[in-house]
């Protein structure tokens, strides 16, 4: 009646869990999305810093133009 294979109770579940764990560890699609997010955040910070620096110098120029027009 047997299939000739030794059956160990619970071994099938361990193999399935190991397979799932290995697939999870090999999956890099989430890491790629995180990398793109970090790149976008870095570019955003650079733009914000440039605009803040430019904004303060522009403000002082507008103030000097405004005072010279009065």
H or E segment and range at residue 50: helix 29-69
Q: HSE of 15 in the Cβ direction (CA atoms, 13 Å)?
A: 5
Whether 34 shows a pLDDT value over 70: the answer reads yes
Mean pLDDT of the chain: 82
How far is residue 31's CA from residue 37's CA, in Å, rounded to a whole number? 10
Task: Tell me the CA distances in angstroms from 54 to 5, 47, 63, one per residue in order.
Answer: 76, 10, 14
pLDDT value of residue 15: 82
User: 9 pLDDT exceeds 90?
Assistant: no
Report the predicted TM-score, pTM, of the whole model to 2 decimal places: 0.48
Q: Predicted confidence band at 41 (pLDDT cuts at 50, 70, 90)?
A: very high
Tokens of 27: 């999956």
Structure confidence at residue 8 (pLDDT):
53
């Amino acid at each position: 009646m047997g299939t000739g294979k030794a059956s160990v109770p619970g071994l099938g579940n361990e193999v399935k869990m190991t397979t799932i764990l290995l697939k999870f560890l090999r999956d890099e699609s989430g890491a790629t999305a995180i990398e793109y997010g970090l790149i976008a955040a870095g570019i955003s910070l650079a733009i914000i810093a440039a605009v803040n620096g430019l904004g303060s110098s522009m403000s002082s120029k507008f103030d000097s133009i405004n005072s010279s027009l009065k």
